[in-house]
């Protein structure tokens, strides 16, 4: 399963790289009468790598923020927190005990 996911990611990266290469580098180099090169100083690979890293960085930052905020909300007694279930159960037990006392008191009277 993991290898299939890696294969899809690499296929996706390759699929996005080719149009970028053709659109940006080849046309730009042809305008200047030069041959398009992928490697070397200020070539396509470096700008592609930078753009890819920035994309991954923003996605990891987004995921990290989501995890931290979710953890904070869950541990702050939100409606999604499982801790509120314990408090509700305790309140129900107190109410049941009070009702039991009232019914016993009424049956004695």
Q: So where are the chain's domains? A: 1-58
pLDDT of residue 23: 57
pLDDT of residue 107: 85
What is the rounded CA–CA span in Å between residue 14 and residue 46? 15
The rounded average pLDDT for each run of 10 residues, N- to C-terminus, in the chain (109 residues) is 55 57 59 59 69 87 91 72 72 94 85
What is the rounded CA–CA span in Å between residue 70 and residue 66? 6
In the block, residue with structure tokens 């979710």? 70
| Distant-in-sequence, close-in-space partners of 13: CB < 8 Å, separation ≥ 6 | 52
Task: With CA atoms as reference, report the closest residue to 18 among 48, 52, 46.
Answer: 48
Contact 56/50 with Cβ under 8 angstroms? no
How do residues 20-32 score in pLDDT, each as one tens digit?
555 555 566 666 5
């Amino acid at each position: 399963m993991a290898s299939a996911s890696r294969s899809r990611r690499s296929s996706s990266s390759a699929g996005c790289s080719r149009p970028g290469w053709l659109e940006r580098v080849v046309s730009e180099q042809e305008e200047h009468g030069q041959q398009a090169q992928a490697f070397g100083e200020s070539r396509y690979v470096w700008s592609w790598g930078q753009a890819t890293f920035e994309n991954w960085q923003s996605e990891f930052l987004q995921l990290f923020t989501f995890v931290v905020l979710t953890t904070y909300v869950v541990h702050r007694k939100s409606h999604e927190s499982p801790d509120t279930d314990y408090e509700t159960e305790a309140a129900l037990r107190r109410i049941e005990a009070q009702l039991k006392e009232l019914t016993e008191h009424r049956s004695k009277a």
